[in-house]
Amino acid sequence: MKITGFDLDAVHVNHRGDWVFVHVNTDAGLRGVGELLAGKNYGGRVAALREMEKALVGRDPRRIAQVVHEFSQGRPGRDRVCALSAVEQALWDILGKSLGVPVHALLGGACREEVRLYANINRATVDRTPEGFARNAAAAVAEGFDAVKLAPFDGMPMMDSAQEAEPGIACMRAVREAIGPDVDLMIDCHSHLTVKGSLEVADALRDLNLFWFEEPTPESDVEACLEVKRRCGLRTAGGEQRMLRQGFREALERGMMDVIMPDVTVVGGIGELKRVADMAEAYGIPTSPHGPFGPVMIAAGVQAMAAHPDFLILEFGWGEVPWRRDLITPPERIEKGRMATGDAPGLGVDLNMEGVEAHRVPV
């Protein structure tokens, strides 16, 4: 079996940009699908994909480890690693389809029959008031989700105190009141806090019983991360921007966070996500992949985490567009905030080209 080329398909989502899907085609008639980290400005990643295509045409798509090794040598930039991440997902899809088994069977077998999701309501919330966040949080819970996350400090400057962060704190309080005490609640700070601000905000939110405190300070400041983790009294999470195994080595060796959040579209793909999760398990750190994007990356995350014993919870981008389910076959199915691991070959999903055509934009 040989690779014959790539097809790229993009759909416009909203003010935050697009979702981009990559098909890797073969001369055997099998094609695999992956999802590219997109958003608004992804021309560099598309260019990197085209360079990969030139290098991979005529190669066996089932030699995934060889491809990952080749394209991750040296110090590859973000565009190259994101392109590799998308292609690598598609290669696993091809391998699974060629053998008639789901990807999780190739990664060691399923540890669970379903994967727990949390609803990231942040991207869907245009009304960034306490009332706006509370409405969407309540709607997600009404759909069956038992865990919700928001990033209430977006658009705010770096903050050094709880007083400066009060508008975001008010959003968190409104959401907790709307969803009740039994639903898990997470905050993503998107690095908007100093160490002092982080500790004060943690104190201000302590009575909300947070599931985790995500990226309070920039991860480039290792000592700040360590101090906040040591002193805040909350479970900390982070790591979404880290690439490849090498990107997680320092974070794990130094214990920078309690939960790691590798992103399958950034870390290097499904295999690299699983390897990073296995590294973290050796340090007693659970994995909760980042990724509030399209339905293919969720399918990839489900496959990887189905086969990982120390999985915690998987991110789901809730409520951005009503036609999300139309983009894949079979349609995305979530029951009580869980997605079945399934036994369909490969990733278990294919693009529904009719749904894609209805929202297509040029790549």
Euclidean distance between CA atoms 110 and 94, whole angstroms = 19
Q: Which pLDDT does position 118 carry in this prediction?
A: 98
Q: Which pLDDT does position 290 carry in this prediction?
A: 98
In tens, the pLDDT along 15-29 reads 999 999 999 999 999
The CATH code of the domain that includes 72 is 3.30.390.10
Q: Which pLDDT does position 257 carry in this prediction?
A: 98
Kindly give the parts of the chain with pLDDT less than 70.
none
* Helix/strand/coil (H/E/C) assignment for every residue in 130-184: HHHHHHHHHHHHHCCCCEEEECCCCCCCCECCCCCCHHHHHHHHHHHHHHCCCCE
Are residue 155 and residue 44 in the same domain, yes or no? no
Q: Is the pTM of this model over 0.75?
A: yes
Half-sphere exposure of 199 (CA within 13 A, CB side): 10
Q: Which pLDDT does position 97 carry in this prediction?
A: 98
Are residue 183 and residue 279 in the same domain, yes or no? yes
Q: Which pLDDT does position 203 carry in this prediction?
A: 98
DSSP run (H or E) holding 19: strand 17-26
Are residue 295 and residue 192 in the same domain, yes or no? yes
Q: Where are the beta strands (DSSP E) in 27-134?
A: 31-39, 114-120
Are residue 229 and residue 291 in the same domain, yes or no? yes
Are residue 170 and residue 121 in the same domain, yes or no? yes
Q: Which pLDDT does position 44 carry in this prediction?
A: 98
User: How many domains does the chain fold into?
Assistant: 2
Structure tokens at 96: 């699974």
Domain that holds residue 141: 109-352
Choose among 211, 230, 228: nearest CA to 219.
Answer: 228
